[in-house]
Amino acid sequence: MKKIVLAYSGGLDTSYCAKYLSESNYEVHAVCVNTGGFNENEIQEIKTKAIALGVTDFRAINAVNAYYNKVIRFLIYGNVLKNNTYPLSVSAERIVQAIEVCNYAKSIGARCIAHGSTGAGNDQVRFDLIFQTMIPDIEIITPIRDNTLSRQEEIEYLKNKGVNLSWEKAKYSINKGLWGTSVGGAETLTSNLPLPEASFPSQLKNTETEKLTISFNKGEVTAVNGVEGSPVENIQKIQAIASQYAIGRDIHVGDTILGIKGRVGFEAAASIIIIKAHHLLEKHVLTKWQLQHKDGLANWYGMHLHEGLFLDPVMRNIEAFLLDSQEKVCGDVFVSLNPYRYELDGIASPFDLMQCDFGQYGEINKAWNADEVKGFIKIYGNQNKMYQQLNQK
């Protein structure tokens, strides 16, 4: 029997794969990689289901900290929002999950690796790219994609094999992780319909304004309201507080790796607030050229990550730049939370370039006199004057 590692989540597609591969002379090792979407009880339920489907072994890997260290902190450093909207919640998760599955496959000497992606989405590209890069000689098996199976065909196969679990499709598809939750449904297949209020996992519970202080040290969130914690703990804490205000909801429209347009809803209170708070702090402590070049590189970083190119060495090059840029990104950001919205009230930082002895914008200058600034303006406009005079002639 060939030893195969299956990226397993417990849903219909990966459950079909588990049964199908077990019945096809494979020794199936199911691996569930948790990037913040499952609690301990849910992991146990997933394990029970996998064993019942006939897998040889089940392994749960907690990759929450790896997810933060490998990806999320750089998304924060770069203030990455795809199309100025989406914090790359799912695409970032898939990269880390694929890497962990690969590492496990190598550790047990598996000759094959499988996932439950269809042929119509981005995940198949992300998984395959990581698998074939990390283990070039591995055989990648994708039963759903290869056999062009419909959801109903998968259900009928499982029923015929005596698997009588409930596979009733939920009205909305929910994918939860540390950096946000995606929400898909009938409305996201249209171009004009919004997702209804009830489709979002977090509902409005708090209507009174609440003040939030987020502390950063070298670009990382080190404390919330003065209480220190790890970056992962602080992300979870901000999510727990801000989600009660139904903050961070939106619908992202973008280009898939396959070239078709896609539309997905999401709620990501913590990631949206942290990115915006971090960006505000950077505006105060970085130079205009640091901000200028960071924006361009961060945009490319998000694009490459989204399209599964995480292992390209250019990503390490960009990460080195982003990490170095965070040396002075230290201080507190003050946020006001209200139903469905938040406000960035201001910052306090020892490196705040507004609080200097050179002057105050629009008020008074202390580092130059009137003649000096008039001379500067004259020289500054020289080339523009030359161009205009030459072309008028």
C-alpha span between 36 and 103 (Å, rounded): 19
Whether residue 335 sits in one domain with residue 190: yes
Choose the most confident range, by mean pLDDT, from 9-13, 228-232, 256-260: 228-232
Whether residue 384 sits in one domain with residue 342: no
What's the domain range around 367? 359-392
β-bridge pairing 139-141 and 112-114? parallel
> What pLDDT, in 10s, does the model give residues 107-117?
999 999 999 99
- Please calculate the CA angle 302-303-309 and round it to the nearest 5 degrees: 100
Whether residue 104 sits in one domain with residue 15: yes
Whether residue 91 sits in one domain with residue 230: no
Lowest mean pLDDT segment, chosen from 168-172, 213-217, 258-262: 168-172
Query: Is 295 a member of any domain?
Result: no
Helices 231-242, 269-285: axis angle to 10 degrees equals: 120
pLDDT, mean over the chain: 95
**pLDDT of the residue at 365:** 80
Percent of the chain with pLDDT over 70: 100
**pLDDT of the residue at 161:** 94
Q: How many domains does the chain have?
A: 3
Whether residue 29 sits in one domain with residue 93: yes
pLDDT (mean) for 364-392:
91
Radius of gyration of the chain (CA): 25
pLDDT (mean) for 142-167:
91
Whether residue 378 sits in one domain with residue 333: no
Residue pair 303/293 in contact (Cβ under 8 Å)? The answer is: no
C-alpha span between 296 and 283 (Å, rounded): 15
The 10 Å CB-count burial string (b at 16+, else e) for 225-249 is: eeeeeebbebbbbbbebbbbbbbbb
pTM: 0.94
Whether residue 116 sits in one domain with residue 30: yes
pLDDT (mean) for 232-236:
98
Domain ends where: 127, 160, 193? 160
Query: Is 47 a member of any domain?
Result: yes
Residues 6 or more apart in contact with residue 47 via CB below 8 angstroms: 32, 58, 60
Domain ends where: 129, 160, 191? 160
Taken as a whole, the chain contains a residue count of 393
Whether residue 61 sits in one domain with residue 130: yes
Whether residue 388 sits in one domain with residue 329: no
**CB atoms closer than 10 angstroms to residue 220:** 19
The 10 Å CB-count burial string (b at 16+, else e) for 291-327 is: eeebeebbbebbebbbbbbbeeeebeebbebbeebbe
Query: Is 303 a member of any domain?
Result: no
Residue recorded with tokens 């490319």: 300
pLDDT band per the 50, 70, 90 thresholds, residue 79: very high
Residues 6 or more apart in contact with residue 31 via CB below 8 angstroms: 5, 6, 7, 8, 58, 59, 60, 61, 100, 101, 104
**Residue 241 corresponds to which tokens in the numbers above?**
């507080």
Residue recorded with tokens 């499709």: 169
Q: How many helices (H) and strands (E) does the chain have?
A: 14, 16
pLDDT band per the 50, 70, 90 thresholds, residue 364: confident
Query: Is 342 a member of any domain?
Result: yes
Which amino acid is it at 295? D
Domain with residue 90: its CATH number is 3.40.50.620
Whether residue 142 sits in one domain with residue 9: yes
Chain Cα centroid distance, residue 183: 14
Whether residue 265 sits in one domain with residue 236: yes
Query: Is 274 a member of any domain?
Result: yes
Domain with residue 198: its CATH number is 3.90.1260.10
C-alpha span between 138 and 111 (Å, rounded): 6
Query: Is 123 a member of any domain?
Result: yes
Query: Is 107 a member of any domain?
Result: yes
> What pLDDT, in 10s, does the model give residues 316-361?
999 999 999 999 999 999 999 999 999 999 999 999 999 877 777 7
Whether residue 115 sits in one domain with residue 229: no
